[in-house]
């Protein structure tokens, strides 16, 4: 069964600290993996997209890693800020091109406290 599982479900950290969110998937055939940030009351916004051959990609203080062998990805947030408080969704694309399907994780809710 094609699934994307994220952990933890929720996380509270202090401002300035680092954190890592996890994503495990069982999606085949794999096309790409993306991380989205969703602020409360807003639509998801793409942070990173990685294909099979990429094992790390950064976007400012966000760094995503991908291990295609173990089918795991992580999103590392460095020096967290209050504005990082949001839901982070891992999405795996199955197949490719016009027939590809997106499989969504349930998200990790991150709260950054001052």
Partner 1 sequence: DAGVIQSPRHEVTEMGQEVTLRCKPISGHDYLFWYRQTMMRGLELLIYFNNNVPIDDSGMPEDRFSAKMPNASFSTLKIQPSEPRDSAVYFCASSLGGRSYGYTFGSGTRLTVV
Q: Is 96 in the site for partner 1 (CB under 8 A)?
A: yes
When asked if residue 97 is in the footprint of partner 1 (CB under 8 A), the reply is yes
- Tokens 């990173």 identify what position? 48
Interface of this chain with partner 1, residues 1 to 40, rule: CB under 8 A: 31-32, 34
Q: Is the Cβ–Cβ distance between 37 and 45 less than 8 Å?
A: yes
Residue 25: CB minimum distance to partner 1, A: 14
| Binding residues vs partner 1 (CB under 8 A) | 31-32, 34, 41-46, 49, 89, 93, 95-102, 104-107
């Amino acid at each position: 069964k094609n699934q994307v599982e994220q952990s933890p479900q929720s996380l509270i950290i202090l401002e300035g600290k680092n954190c890592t969110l996890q994503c495990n998937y069982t999606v085949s055939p794999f096309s790409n993996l993306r991380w989205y940030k969703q602020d409360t009351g807003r639509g998801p916004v793409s942070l990173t997209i990685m294909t099979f051959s990429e094992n790390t990609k950064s976007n400012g203080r966000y760094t995503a890693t991908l291990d295609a062998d173990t089918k795991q990805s992580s999103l590392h947030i460095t020096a967290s800020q209050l504005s990082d408080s949001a839901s982070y969704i891992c999405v795996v694309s199955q197949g490719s091109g016009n027939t590809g399907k997106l499989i969504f994780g349930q998200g990790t809710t991150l709260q950054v406290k001052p």
